Amino acid sequence: MEQDSNAQTATPSKVIGVATQRIDAPLKTTGTAVYTSDHHLPGMVYAWPVTATISRGTILSVDASEAQSMPGVLAVYTHKNIGPLYRTPPTVGFSMRQQEHRPPLENLEVYYYGQYVAVAVAQTMEQARAAAEAIKVTYQPETPNVATKLLGTPLTTPGMHPGSHRGDAAAAFAQAPVKHDAVYSSPAETHNPIELHATVADYRDGKYTLYETSQAVVNHRDVMAAVLGVPPGNVRVITRFLGSGFGGKLWPWPHSALAAACSHNLQRPVKLVISRSMMFESVGHRPAIEQQIQLGAETNGKLTAIVQNYVNHTSMIDDYAEGCGEATPLLYSCANLKITSGLARRNVGTPTAMRGPGAVPGLWALESAMDELAWQLKMDPVQLRLLNEPAVDESNGKPFSSRHLKECLTVGAEKFGWSQRKPAIGSMKNAQGATLGWGVAACSWGAMRSDAETMVELLANGRARVTCGTQDIGGGTYTIFAQLVSHETGLPLNKIDVALGDTKLPPGPVSGGSWTTATVIPAVLQATQNAVRSLLMLAASSPDGYFAGSHAADMEMSDGFVQPKGQPAKRVAFGEILGRANVKAVFGNAKSEGTLGRETKYSFHSFGAHFVEITWQPEIARLRVSRVVTVIDAGRMINPRPARNQIEGAIVMGVGMAMLEDTQYDPRSGAPINANLADYLLPVNADCPKIDVTFLDYPDYHLDALGARGVGEIGLAGVAPAIAGAVYHATGIRVRSLPIRIEDLLAAPQTASA
């Protein structure tokens, strides 16, 4: 195993890097964690939207007469009486993010199946739903376009949009002695967190309190203030717990405005929980994508050309661009590269980020192509990747802050037993005689920090409290905050309270991009240090204090106690110092500036490698992913326990992407026809392989003081192409269109061939 020259070892800590149970685990396992739809307010009523049953056309009439006389019904709102809902203005920087810009019920146009066309409000959810279903809407339908053919179809722009490029990729490809040229497609995938999107809106005295299912409460507040036409100070957004989001809950969707408007109009709290089928319609999805990849190489495997041309579908009303070219320019060394992209409009809801947006589908294509190139070269696919390792990020010439992809590949190969691989197709069998296929893929995901503010309080009761307007979407952010405060103060985790998910708190980052941990590290460390400084000054300055006459500079906080530096025998519990000084709490505030959108000296990325074994039983057409070995280089793991959980979950999601997930739109109506958890296939326990995750754990001190880069999304990148490569190794069938179906494999050769 080779040693990386830029490897750094982490400084020891009692809490950083220690596998720690989530501090909120007892709340979750006892059912006492309060999720958005758990909020019950006095006088609360329920809203249920009416959704369009065409995907293109015009509303001719809405007849709510029957619905309005049904039991418990309070109101029916349409475009005529919902009241003003505004569009968000264009903004500079990373704020006011919204994917579907059209406010609900803006006019009579229908752009996608499931678009809200009215909303019923009643005393109970059942009454509201019954009323919504009794509202009769007539339409002038037009023929929708939900075609999945994308490359070569009309785009939103006159031509393909140029992306990253260097050298002369077309010429290099034309001259390459070895060429691979193929199209890879992936279908629309729908986020299916168990928690449905929901809003509990409480309007009173000109102000809105919105309990939301949000991965970004601060942005949600700003968007909703714009949509509702009130100052941001009149909107408070709360998300204490989230039943996962995967990107689907990053930005506000129209149901939030509907609930807020209903509460405003009725002057009562309103709960709106969308149904599972609405989850497939109006809250985003990963778009369908077609990508052409051309690889040119020397006969020794050295890449000479990479071309990636891709088109993703978007809605009729918004431009959502999936950045499939994100990882392509930096994963391998190649002098000639060209990426182009385009958007094709379809009568579907507006797409959005889904876990690892861009890189995940982009690497499905690039890494599949690399595997195909390795076969063509008769070269080991691990070797092909090692051979094309770049020295710097060739897209911008910057050094990588910390890159250990080669070690991911070599460590993974060792753990997997890759040296035992027999290259001939269908030649490997397990003890039961089933055919085995082995595949590999590399992955990458950008690393960055955004801006953050936090406050830390040390209280006379001996507890600490840290607050930030970010949120824990299930990944373990509450625990990370407690660990950071513990790291600086020595206080045990059970003496640290963490408050997140509320716009009343200091503004924090979105929970997206796998950047929350790295983002909050500088602000929490600094805020804690500021609080400790205040405490030490208090200890030294109180005339009747324990340390009267000392200098703050000669004092320290250690294990939760204040003491003269290096003299634990003289220590005093910090709460007693506050108590004797008659001070309730000392405070530390801090604000950190991120790297996001700013020029940086280094190229910050995480890397990884997946090794996959599939088991194929052609006689019963049974395909299973049996084993995955994953090695991740994502900086230092602050809490390896939920980090491992993130990667394991991502690998399961990768099994879904590779073999199951596929949102299908009916070409006649434009309806997503498998809009439920019976027909939209997701991996269940029986589909899950044995998973072995290794973190290289090299700290990236260029990004933050603790060397964390963040983890979560990277685990999904590369899984699907590794599975497709393994399927080819077992069957000789190359599937370039996800998901891989049994039907694709029925023509598989039954005997081994070279």
Interface positions with ligand MOS (CB under 6 A): 215, 245-247, 250, 353-355, 357, 512-513, 713
The pair of three-digit structure tokens given for residue 122, joined into one six-digit string: 């009643």
CA dist list (Å): 50 to 138, 377, 472: 12, 56, 31
The upper half-sphere exposure of residue 120, i.e. CA atoms within 13 Å in the direction of its Cβ, equals: 30
The pair of three-digit structure tokens given for residue 201, joined into one six-digit string: 């809106």
Q: Distance (Å, rounded) from C-alpha 78 to C-alpha 67?
A: 13
DSSP string, 301-366: S-EEEEEEEEEEEE-SS------TTSSHHHHS--S-EEEEEEEEE-SSPPP---SSTTHHHHHHHH
CA angle (258 as vertex; 252, 260 as ends), nearest 5? 85
Nearer to ligand MOS, 116 or 246 (CB): 246
Q: Distance (Å, rounded) from C-alpha 411 to C-alpha 143?
A: 54
The pair of three-digit structure tokens given for residue 415, joined into one six-digit string: 């753990």
DSSP string, 36-65: GGG---TT-EEEEEEE-S-SSEEEEEEE-H
Nearer to ligand MOS, 82 or 634 (CB): 634
Nearer to ligand MOS, 245 or 342 (CB): 245
- Closest-approach residue to ligand MOS (CB): 247
Cβ 292 to ligand MOS, closest distance in Å? 25
Q: What is the CA radius of gyration of the chain?
A: 28
Instruction: Give the three-class secondary structure for 573.
Output: strand
Nearest-CA neighbor of 121 among 196, 59, 43, 61?
43
What are the beta bridge partners of residue 469? Answer: 507
625 in Cβ contact with 649 (< 8 Å): no
CA dist list (Å): 317 to 156, 350, 480, 551, 737: 11, 7, 39, 64, 27
Cβ 473 to ligand MOS, closest distance in Å? 7
Nearer to ligand MOS, 250 or 535 (CB): 250
Catalytic residue among 189, 613, 661, 713: 713
50 in Cβ contact with 137 (< 8 Å): yes
What are the beta bridge partners of residue 50? Answer: 118
The upper half-sphere exposure of residue 270, i.e. CA atoms within 13 Å in the direction of its Cβ, equals: 31
Q: Distance (Å, rounded) from C-alpha 351 to C-alpha 360?
A: 15
Terminal C-alpha separation, the chain: 30
Instruction: Give the three-class secondary structure for 744.
Output: helix
Nearer to ligand MOS, 23 or 354 (CB): 354
Cβ 246 to ligand MOS, closest distance in Å? 6
Nearer to ligand MOS, 356 or 672 (CB): 356
Q: Is 61 exposed, middle or buried (0-12, 13-18, 19+ CB in 10 A)?
A: exposed
Cβ 446 to ligand MOS, closest distance in Å? 10
545 in Cβ contact with 580 (< 8 Å): yes
Nearer to ligand MOS, 535 or 650 (CB): 650
Reply yes or no on whether 372 is catalytic.
Answer: no
Q: Distance (Å, rounded) from C-alpha 366 to C-alpha 442?
A: 10
Nearer to ligand MOS, 662 or 713 (CB): 713
DSSP class of residue 566 equals T
Cβ 708 to ligand MOS, closest distance in Å? 17
Ramachandran region, residue 189 (left: φ > 0; alpha: ψ -120 to 50; beta: rest):
beta
Nearer to ligand MOS, 48 or 478 (CB): 478
Nearer to ligand MOS, 57 or 509 (CB): 509
Nearest-CA neighbor of 527 among 567, 555, 487, 578?
487
Instruction: Give the three-class secondary structure for 631.
Output: strand
Instruction: Give the three-class secondary structure for 370.
Output: helix
Nearer to ligand MOS, 57 or 649 (CB): 649
Kindly report the backbone phi and psi dihedral angles of residue 629, in degrees, each rounded to the nearest multiple of 5, phi listed first.
-115, 120
DSSP class of residue 507 equals B
Nearer to ligand MOS, 512 or 683 (CB): 512
Nearer to ligand MOS, 17 or 513 (CB): 513
Q: Distance (Å, rounded) from C-alpha 694 to C-alpha 701?
A: 20
Residues 6+ apart with CB under 8 A from 148: 185, 187, 288, 313
Q: Distance (Å, rounded) from C-alpha 76 to C-alpha 92?
A: 37
Alpha helices in 437-555 (DSSP H): 477-489, 516-541
Catalytic residues: 713
